Amino acid sequence: MEYIKIFFVNTAVLITLAYLANLLFKHTISRVPEQLKQVIWVIMAVFAGWLSSFFGYRLDEQVIFDLRYVPLIISAIAYPQPLLLILIGVGTGLMRFTFGINMAAAAGVLNLSILGFICAAISPWIRRSPMSMTAKGLIIILVVNFFNAVNIILFGVISLHEYVSKIMPVTFPAGVALSILFALIARDFHLERERMRQIEEANALLSEQTEELYKNRIVLEERAKQLMLASQYKSEFLANMSHELRTPLNGILNLSELIAESDDMAAREEIQAYGSLIHRSGEDLLLLINDVLDLSKVEAGKLEIVHEEVNISELPMLLYQQFEVIAKQRGLDFTVKLDDGLPETLVSDSQRMQQILRNLLSNAFKFTHQGGVSLTVRQEKRKQGARETSWIEWAVSDSGIGIAKDKQLTIFEAFQQADGTISRQYGGTGLGLSISRDLARLLGGMITLQSQEGQGSTFSLYLPTTLEDKA
């Protein structure tokens, strides 16, 4: 009968401690990091085991009967993690030495340590089993109580006959019954912990969704802004295009009308001048149409690239001859420089190279009022992994109006110029740089820009010397 009284005292102490621990976890410890939470749990479980021994029944000076293994059962249900259960088992066992170092205490340490390892061994099953928490709790209770009795029989200092005939018939069923009671408390704690975890996950998911919605809103606003800008640029492009088309067409119509209305006495020189102007207007119109067609072919992926050997020294001289007259007319210096050590040829498309460089040089002369324009050709070696590649740089520099830093990316987009007023002041459709950039990519190269507003610009076309070196 004394055993039952002591078990009920143990039960009252452990229930009180479980209630206080539940309150502490719910309102304080639940907010700390998971690792710290587990450390606190181990300390509380070991303390609960020690408290159970403190209020346990002393059979004699050495032997104490108690429910110190109950916190281990609760921990196996609430925190089925091997290392944590081993620490609780060994820690609770070692606390037995605080009541005296003797054979009974050593047996108690060994008993709780074995129970800790047994709980650790079945913890993976506890986590993964599809059984209900109630069924798993009952199995844990029976396993721990059974091995507790076996350990007392094997390692205890009480005689086998006395334990089996007098003590075990009372303590084993009482231990199982009280363990079930505490398992129900543990189940409530587990459900509360699971509910808190679900709330935290739901809050985290809501935060992620809110952040994702905010990001999507920013993206949509940015796209809407880009669409508005694209619409604006296309409107400006159509206005510029109508102007660019109208000018040479009006010239052709007016001059052809003058020729038609002229009498036979008109001077041959005057007719030739009209014809020359008509021819020049037709060339301007053809170049404009070619730009539009090239852009549409590039976007459709139907622009053909013809790879052949291109003489590196001939192309700059050809460009010099084409732009020398423009430089003299505008009072600008125009220089062409080829660095020493250049290879004789590179493999590329000569026609598209000329188209890119003509666009870059045309822009340079268009936006330069004083100073000059230069074309420099140099070789550059680059490392691509363990392989060294050879590139030719065609740098077109001018001392013109320059480009603001925030406009240096947009000018390469179709229909766009650094400033909407530029088209009205300087003319052009805003297609040249876009086409040049796309052509450079098709040739396996790229175009870079260095510019400072008011101090000129340098556009550099980089092309590989061979197809194997392309980017």
How many angstroms separate the CA atoms of 218 and 212, rounded?
10
Mean pLDDT, to the nearest integer, of 146-152?
85
Residue 34 has which token pair?
């998971």
% of the chain exceeding 90 in pLDDT: 11
* Residue the block writes with tokens 């088992």: 89
How many angstroms separate the CA atoms of 172 and 268, rounded?
130
Through-space distance between the first and last CA atoms of the chain, rounded to whole angstroms: 90
Cβ pair 111, 151 in contact under 8 A:
yes
Say yes or no to pLDDT of 335 above 90: yes
Residue 177 has which token pair?
């019954």
Q: What digits encode the pLDDT tens for the residues 22-57? A: 666 666 666 677 788 788 888 888 887 887 777 766
Q: Which residue has the higher pLDDT, 316 or 177?
A: 316
How many angstroms separate the CA atoms of 129 and 37, rounded?
24
Say yes or no to pLDDT of 133 above 80: no
- Report pLDDT for 68: 81
How many angstroms separate the CA atoms of 366 and 369, rounded?
8
How many angstroms separate the CA atoms of 356 and 314, rounded?
16
Q: In Å, what is the CA distance from 160 to each residue of 65, 69, 163?
A: 15, 21, 5
How many angstroms separate the CA atoms of 84 and 207, rounded?
32
Work out the angle at residue 352's Cα, subtended by the Cα atoms of residues 347 and 356, and round it to the nearest 5 degrees. 115
Mean pLDDT, to the nearest integer, of 167-192?
69
Mean pLDDT, to the nearest integer, of 155-172?
75
* pTM exceeds 0.75: no
- Report pLDDT for 281: 66
For residue 430, the Cα-to-chain-centroid distance in whole angstroms is 34
Say yes or no to pLDDT of 183 above 70: no
Delineate the domains of the chain, giving CATH numbers in brackets: 1-207 (1.10.1760), 226-300 (1.10.287.130), 308-464 (3.30.565.10)
Do strands 387-398 and 457-464 pair parallel, antiparallel, or not at all (unpaired)? antiparallel
Mean pLDDT, to the nearest integer, of 411-424?
55
Q: Which residue has the higher pLDDT, 432 or 392?
A: 392
- Report pLDDT for 459: 93
How many angstroms separate the CA atoms of 446 and 133, rounded?
65
Q: What is the average pLDDT value for the chain, to the nearest integer? A: 78
Cβ pair 418, 430 in contact under 8 A:
no
How many angstroms separate the CA atoms of 346 and 270, rounded?
47
- Report pLDDT for 253: 67
Q: What is the DSSP string of 153-203?
A: HHH-SS-HHHIIIIIHHHHHHHHHHHHHHHHHHHHHHHHHHHHHHHHHHHH
Mean pLDDT, to the nearest integer, of 186-213?
78
